Structure 1
Amino acid sequence: MATGLPMESRTGRNNQRTFPIPLTIRGASYHLVTTPLFPMADIFMHLHFFSGDIGYGPEGERLVAGVVPLNAAKTHVLLIQSTRRNAWVLPKGGWETDEECTEAAQREAWEEAGIVCTVDYDLGQITETRTAKQISKNAPKALYQFYQVTVKSEETEWPEKHKRNRKWATYSEAKHDLQERPELLQALERCTIQR
Structure 2
Amino acid sequence: MAQEKQPERSMEARVGRDNQRYGPRGERLVAGVVPLSQSKDQVLLIQSSSRKGWVLPKGGWEADEPSEAEAACREAWEEAGIHSAIERDLGFVDEKRTDEQIKKGGPHAPRALYRWFEVRVTKEEETWPEAHKRSRMWMSYAEARSRLADRPELLEALERSSIKKT
Fold-level match, TM-score > 0.5? yes
Correspondence 1:160 to 2:127: no
Unpaired stretches in structure 1, ≥5 consecutive residues? 17-54
Structure-2 change in CA distance of 1:89 and 1:59 (3 Å): same
Correspondence 1:143 to 2:113: yes
Aligned pairs for 1:65-84 (under 5 A) are: 65-84=31-50
What percentage of aligned pairs have identical amino acids?
58
Correspondence 1:130 to 2:97: yes
Correspondence 1:63 to 2:29: yes
Distance between the aligned counterparts of 1:150 and 1:14, measured in 2?
30
State the 1:3 CA deviation: 7.9
TM-score, scaled to structure 1? 0.77
Residue 94 (structure 1) aligns with? 60
Count how many residue pairs are aligned between Structure 1 and Structure 2.
156
Residue 9 (structure 2) aligns with? 5
Unpaired stretches in structure 2, ≥5 consecutive residues? 1-5
Distance between the aligned counterparts of 2:7 and 2:19, measured in 1?
25
Residue type of the alignment partner of 2:95: E
State the 1:117 CA deviation: 1.0
Residue 105 (structure 1) aligns with? 72
Residue 157 (structure 2) aligns with? 187
Residue type of the alignment partner of 1:12: G
Residue 3 (structure 2) aligns with? none
TM-score, scaled to structure 2? 0.91
Residue type of the alignment partner of 2:99: A
Which whole-Å deviations, capped at 9, do the CAs of 1:151-180 have from their partners, x for residues lacking one?
A: 011100000000000000000000000000
Which whole-Å deviations, capped at 9, do the CAs of 1:14-61 have from their partners, x for residues lacking one?
A: 111xxxxxxxxxxxxxxxxxxxxxxxxxxxxxxxxxxxxxx2112221
Distance between the aligned counterparts of 1:171 and 1:151, measured in 2?
16
After TM superposition, where is structure 1 displaced by more than 2 Å over at least 4 residues in a row? 136-140
CA RMSD of aligned residues (A): 1.3
Correspondence 1:116 to 2:88: no
